[in-house]
Amino acid sequence: MGKTVTFDEHVHNAICSLTKSNSFKTGLLIGQSTLQKDIVVHICTTPSQDEVAVKESDKEKDSKKGKQVKKKPEIQDELNENWICQHAKQVTRMLPGGLDILGIFVIAGQDELNKLQHNLRQILFAIFKVLSKDQKLSLCHENTEKILLQIATFAQKFVCRTFDVSDYKSSAKPAEWKQFSGVFQWHKLECKFNLDFRIPVDKNKITHSLLKQIEIGLLPFFNTTSRAAALVNGKFRKEEELLDPSMEGKKGKHSNKSSQQYFALDLFLPLHLNDSDDKDPKILECSAVMTVKGTIQCRAYIHNKGTVKEAIQVLKHDIIRSMTSRCEIQCEDLLLIDEEQQDPHVVHELPRRVFASLPQGNLSVCDYLFHGDSASDSLEAFQELLGLNLSEEDVEMNFEKTPDTLQLFQPETIQSGYSETTEKTKTRNILYPIVGAAVAVLAFGVTYFLSQEI
């Protein structure tokens, strides 16, 4: 028997709304994968390339009259593999620990679906190939069975299949698409995670992009985080225990009320940054030093039959995903302000994290805002990428705060520790402080020193 894919009333209503238009749609299935089944909690359609292009050029066209009517694109043209993959990656950044992309859906006429079988399969594999290049972004990379849901508009026929995306030669397996009566119950996990470490950048890596240097530098920290010990509500728990002991022996019946258990986790990193057997110090010729310091707000969700081990895993995943997303967004933003990037006196702040609830009310998604941005700046991202129609009051803004100017890293203080090295190597230090999201008054960021020979 194939996999069971369950979904709630919110997902059912969203699909019904899309099928009423009788128009071609593709999108992503978001949820959590368990050993027994996959749970879909939200669907989001892929933004139209034409709509995005129009929005980006609206300001330029406002002063012009007589807009041209564009010819309706062919179905094959709307199945832009790169565009859909990019949408998937951006959506993944907005998911807390425990939620991930489980597959894709497509809504079309039966004849159109028959013609697109090869294209849809290829897109499904392409999405998870892109995400697998950076496995730290994906919680479900260990479960390689991904969903392809096809919905025929007129007949209202649902065909659900799964493919093993780790094997390109794999064939489709039937899966049961089953609505759940009631409300899925989730355990909410939260943690404030303190960061305070420095990362040396190898001289041979100095020609790499800033993002590549950060990614390489953070890998030891990510590996260390994966081995961190954890306390649940201040207590050490056995990994095989259910996170909520009251669920022991129950047969998974969910109530119609969206009740939710909350758990606070504390993570403790091991003393060594890596698990290498070689404990002797190594001499590394460096041309840069990155400093990460501060506190980030972490949030994750696990199904009500989740174990302590699963809960700790999804929270660690949230830490890694959040750190990676902030750095990627920051570096993408720097590409747009290249001239300012060359100024050593400019301070670039990493984005802080904000949250908003899904329609069910017991699950959240997130976005990242730069200093000076308001809740309204997140509304477009929530709407375009996730299909959420929210108001400013729906965005939780108070979990992280940007530090004051006096709390930022002081260039004079940091540079003084490198003055002797500078004289010996006859180099000059250019400072790029990249300071970002924080809880309360603690700064999270990267202080970047680039040494160049004169």
Strand partners, 407: none
Query: Among the listed ranges 58-62, 387-391, 421-425, which one has the minimum average pLDDT value?
Result: 421-425
Q: How far apart (Å, rounded) are the C-alpha atoms in residues 440 and 299?
A: 17
Distance CA 4, CA 178 (A): 7
According to the model, what pLDDT value does residue 202 have? 84
**Rounded to an integer, what distance in angstroms lies between the CA atom of residue 131 and that of residue 326?**
17
Is residue 118's pLDDT more than 90?
yes
Q: Alpha-carbon torsion 375, 381, 386, 389, what sign?
A: positive
Task: Tell me the per-residue pLDDT of 277-304, one tens digit each, with 9 for 90 and over.
Answer: 556 677 878 877 777 778 899 999 999 9
* Residue 286 CA to its chain's centroid (Å): 31
pLDDT 10s digits, 73-117: 556 666 899 999 999 999 999 999 999 999 999 999 999 999 999
| Predicted confidence (pLDDT) at residue 419 exceeds the cutoff of 80 | no
pLDDT tens, residue by residue, 264-276: 999 998 876 555 5
Q: Which of 361, 347, 351, 292 is nearest to 322 (CA)?
A: 351
Q: Where does residue 234 fall: left (phi above 0), alpha (psi -120 to 50 degrees), or beta otherwise?
A: left
pLDDT of residue 213: 84
Q: For residues 34 and 303, is the Cβ–Cβ distance under 8 A?
A: yes
The DSSP H or E segment spanning 210 is helix 210-226
> Is there a contact between 434 and 409 (Cβ–Cβ < 8 Å)?
no
Instruction: For residue 364, give the nearest of 7, 17, 98 by alpha carbon.
Output: 98
124 HSE (CA, 13 A, CB side): 30
Rg (CA), the chain: 24
pLDDT of residue 335: 78
Please name every residue paired with 428 in a beta bridge, in sequence order, or none if there are none: 452
The residue to which tokens 């659900």 are assigned:
160
**Residue 151: Cβ within 10 Å count:** 20
DSSP-assigned beta bridge partners for residue 202: 286
| Poorest-pLDDT segment among 5-14, 109-118, 257-266 | 257-266
Q: What angle do CA 71, 74, 80 make, to 5 degrees?
A: 115
What is the CA 388 to chain-centroid distance, rounded? 17
Name the pLDDT band for 400 (thresholds 50, 70, 90): confident
Instruction: Average the pLDDT over 128-139 and give the result.
Output: 73
Model confidence at 216, pLDDT cuts 50, 70, 90, reads confident
The number of C-alpha atoms within 13 Å of 39 and in the hemisphere containing its C-beta is: 21
Q: Is the pLDDT of residue 343 over 70?
A: no
For the chain, the helix, strand and coil percentages under 3-state DSSP, each to the nearest 5: 35, 30, 35
Contact by Cβ (8 Å): 243, 346: no
Question: Which of 298-312, 315-329, 333-347 is predicted least confidently?
Answer: 333-347
Mean pLDDT for the chain overall = 79
Angle, CA of 354, 127 and 45, to the nearest 5°: 60
Count CB atoms within 10 A of the CB of residue 308. 21
* CB-neighbour burial class of residue 200 (10 A; exposed 0-12, middle 13-18, buried 19+): middle
Distance CA 356, CA 368 (A): 11
| Confidence at residue 207, expressed as pLDDT on a 0 to 100 scale | 81
Q: Please check whether residue 259 is in contact with residue 185, taking contact to mean a CB–CB distance below 8 angstroms.
A: yes
Query: What pLDDT digit, counting tens, does each position of 304-314 carry?
Result: 999 999 999 99
The more confidently predicted of residues 207 and 306 is: 306
Comparing 110 with 72, the larger pLDDT belongs to 110
**3-class secondary structure for 236-296?**
CCCCCCECCHHHCCCCCCCCCCCCCEEEEEEEECCCCCCCCCCCCCCCCCEEEEEEEEEEE
Query: Per mean pLDDT, which range of 288-302, 351-365, 392-406 is the poorest?
Result: 392-406
Please report which residue ranges of 32-109 form alpha helices under DSSP H.
Answer: 49-56, 58-61, 75-78, 81-93
CA–CA distance, 227 with 273 (Å, rounded to integer) = 10
Distance CA 246, CA 362 (A): 19
- Model confidence band, residue 197 (pLDDT cutoffs 50, 70, 90): confident
CB 362 within 8 A of CB 260: yes
Using CA atoms, how far apart are residues 44 and 35, in angstroms rounded to an integer?
A: 24
Evaluate whether 442 touches 294 at the Cβ level (below 8 Å): yes
Name which of 161-170, 245-254, 335-344 the model is least confident about: 335-344
Task: Tell me what pLDDT residue 389 has.
Answer: 95
Q: pTM of the full predicted structure?
A: 0.84
Task: Tell me the C-alpha distance between 205 and 432, whole Å.
Answer: 17
